[in-house]
C-alpha cells in the first residue's frame, strides 16, 4: 500500500513538470500513457496534466498499468480531472478505443442504448411467440380449440348475454381495421415471411415460388367462400320494413335494393368472420412451423426483418383468435357461426392435411432430414 501511494505521488510530480523541465531532467516530453490517450481523442491539445490522473483513476491506464489504480477512483484521484475541467470530454466517451481507458458506466453517455433495448425487447417477444405457437401440439389442437371457443361463446350469447361493450360495437378499431381485411393482413405478412424462410433453408428460387402459391390458394378459398355466403344470404332472404321482421316488402328482390329503399334484408347470413378468422389463424400457425428449422444469429442481414415478421405474425394470430371469440359471444346465431367455422376448417384441412401432402401441390414448409417429416407428425 505504501508503495502504491509512493508510485502515485511520483507519477503526479512527473505530470506537473513542463515539457522543458522533462527534457532537462531526461524525462520524455510525453508519457506513453499520455500519447495513448491523446490518440484516443480524450485529452485536449496541451492539456495532459489533470486528466491523465482522472483517466488512470477511471480505467486503470494503458496496458500493463497497475491494476490497483482501478480502486483509486473511489480514493478521490479522479477529482483532479474534474477540478481542471477535463472530465467533460471523458464523460462523453469520445474517442475511446480498444485498450484505452474505460469510462465509468455512470458517466458514459447512453449512445445506442435505445436501439439495443428495443432489439432485446423485440427478441423477447419473438421468443415468447415462438415458444407458444411454433409447436406441433398447437398445430394439432388449434382447430379443436377454435371449435370449442365458438361453441362456448355461442352458449354464453344465448344463455348469459353479456352487456354491450366496445368490442360488441361493429365500429371498433379491431373489427374495422383488422377483421374486415383479415386475409389482406395475412397475405401481406406471410408473403415476405414464406419467401425469406424458405429461401434461407433451401436456397432455391423455384421452391420459394412454389411455396408462395399457398397465398394464391388462400385467396381463392377466401373469394369462393365469401361468394358462397353472399349467394346463400340472397336466396334465403327477404326484405322487411324493420329489424323486427314485421312486414315483407316484396318489391325488393336483392339486398342492395332493399337497403336503398330503407328496408332490412334478413336471410341465412353465414358468419364470414368465423370462416376467415379460423382459416387465417390456422394458416399462419402452419407456416410458422418452419421456424423449428431456421437458425439465424444477430450478424445475419435478415435477422431484424425475420424477427419483426415473427412478432407481427404471432400478434396477428392472437388478434384473430380473440376476435373470433368476440364474434362467438356478440354476433350471429349459433348455426351461422357453426357453418362459418366449418368452412374455415374445411379450407385448412383440405390443403394442409390433404392436398399439400401430395407431390403436385405447393407443399408444406421445408423440414430438415434430421427431424421427422411433417407428414408423419400429422399422422400421429
Digit-coded pLDDT (tens) for 351-364: 999 999 999 999 99
DSSP 135: S
b/e sequence 79-92, b meaning 16+ C-beta within 10 Å: ebbeeeebbebbbe
The answer to whether 159 and 329 have CB atoms below 8 angstroms apart is no
According to DSSP, the β-strands at 238-240 and 264-266 are antiparallel
**Cα separation, 340 vs 337, whole angstroms:** 5
Domain segments of the chain as ranges: 2-91, 115-379
Whole-structure pTM over 0.85, yes or no?
no
The answer to whether 265 and 258 have CB atoms below 8 angstroms apart is yes
**Cα separation, 167 vs 243, whole angstroms:** 21
3-state secondary structure of 264: strand
Q: Which one is catalytic: 141, 234, 266, 332? A: 332
Q: Which one is catalytic: 200, 266, 273, 300? A: 273
H-helix or E-strand spanning residue 238: strand 238-240
Q: What is the pLDDT of residue 291?
A: 93
Q: What is the pLDDT of residue 337?
A: 96
- Give the residue ranges of the chain where pLDDT is below 50: 4, 11, 28-112, 369-380
Q: Which residues contact 308 (CB under 8 A, 6 or more apart)?
A: 122
Q: What is the pLDDT of residue 285?
A: 97
pLDDT digits (tens, 9 = 90+) for 145-188: 999 999 999 999 999 999 999 999 999 999 999 999 999 999 99
The answer to whether 263 and 241 have CB atoms below 8 angstroms apart is yes
273 is catalytic: yes
Please work out, in degrees rounded to the nearest 5, the angle formed at the alpha carbon of residue 24 by the alpha carbons of 22 and 25: 65
Instruction: Report residue 320 CA to chain centroid gap.
Output: 16
Name which of 244, 291, 238 is nearest 261 in CA terms: 238
Q: What is the pLDDT of residue 262?
A: 83
266 is catalytic: no
For residue 264, the cross-strand partners are 240
Amino acid at each position: 500500500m505504501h508503495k502504491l501511494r509512493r508510485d502515485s505521488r511520483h507519477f503526479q510530480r512527473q505530470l506537473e513538470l513542463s515539457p522543458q523541465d522533462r527534457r532537462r531532467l531526461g524525462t520524455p516530453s510525453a508519457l506513453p500513457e499520455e500519447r495513448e490517450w491523446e490518440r484516443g481523442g480524450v485529452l485536449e491539445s496541451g492539456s495532459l496534466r489533470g486528466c491523465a490522473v482522472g483517466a488512470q483513476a477511471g480505467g486503470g491506464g494503458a496496458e500493463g498499468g497497475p491494476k490497483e489504480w482501478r480502486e483509486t477512483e473511489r480514493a478521490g484521484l479522479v477529482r483532479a480531472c474534474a477540478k481542471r475541467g477535463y472530465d467533460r470530454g471523458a464523460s462523453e466517451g469520445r474517442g475511446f478505443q480498444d485498450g484505452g481507458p474505460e469510462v465509468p458506466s455512470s458517466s458514459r453517455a447512453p449512445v445506442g442504448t435505445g436501439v439495443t433495448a428495443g432489439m432485446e425487447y423485440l427478441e423477447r417477444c419473438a421468443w415468447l411467440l415462438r415458444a407458444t405457437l411454433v409447436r406441433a401440439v398447437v398445430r394439432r389442437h388449434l382447430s379443436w380449440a377454435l371449435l370449442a371457443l365458438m361453441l362456448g361463446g355461442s352458449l354464453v350469447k344465448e344463455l348469459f348475454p353479456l352487456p354491450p361493450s366496445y368490442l360488441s360495437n361493429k365500429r371498433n378499431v379491431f373489427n374495422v381495421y383488422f377483421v374486415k381485411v383479415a386475409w389482406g393482413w395475412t397475405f401481406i405478412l406471410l408473403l415476405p415471411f414464406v419467401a425469406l424462410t424458405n429461401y434461407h433453408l433451401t436456397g432455391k428460387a423455384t421452391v420459394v415460388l412454389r411455396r408462395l402459391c399457398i397465398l394464391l390458394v388462400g385467396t381463392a378459398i377466401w373469394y369462393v367462400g365469401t361468394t358462397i355466403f353472399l349467394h346463400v344470404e340472397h336466396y334465403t332472404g327477404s326484405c322487411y320494413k324493420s329489424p323486427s321482421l314485421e312486414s315483407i316488402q316484396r318489391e325488393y328482390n336483392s339486398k342492395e335494393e332493399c337497403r336503398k329503399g330503407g328496408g332490412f334484408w334478413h336471410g341465412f347470413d353465414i358468419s364470414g368472420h368465423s370462416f376467415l378468422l379460423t382459416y387465417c389463424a390456422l394458416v399462419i400457425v402452419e407456416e410458422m412451423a418452419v421456424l423449428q428449422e431456421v437458425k439465424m444469429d444477430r450478424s445475419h442481414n435478415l435477422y431484424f426483418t425475420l424477427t419483426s415478421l415473427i412478432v407481427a405474425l404471432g400478434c396477428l394470430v392472437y388478434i384473430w383468435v380473440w376476435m373470433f371469440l368476440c364474434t362467438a359471444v356478440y354476433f350471429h346465431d349459433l348455426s351461422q357461426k357453426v357453418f362459418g367455422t366449418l368452412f374455415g376448417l374445411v379450407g385448412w384441412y383440405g390443403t394442409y392435411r390433404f392436398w399439400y401432402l401430395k407431390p403436385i401441390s405447393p407443399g408444406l414448409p421445408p423440414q430438415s432430414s434430421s427431424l421427422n417429416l411433417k407428414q408423419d407428425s400429422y399422422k400421429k
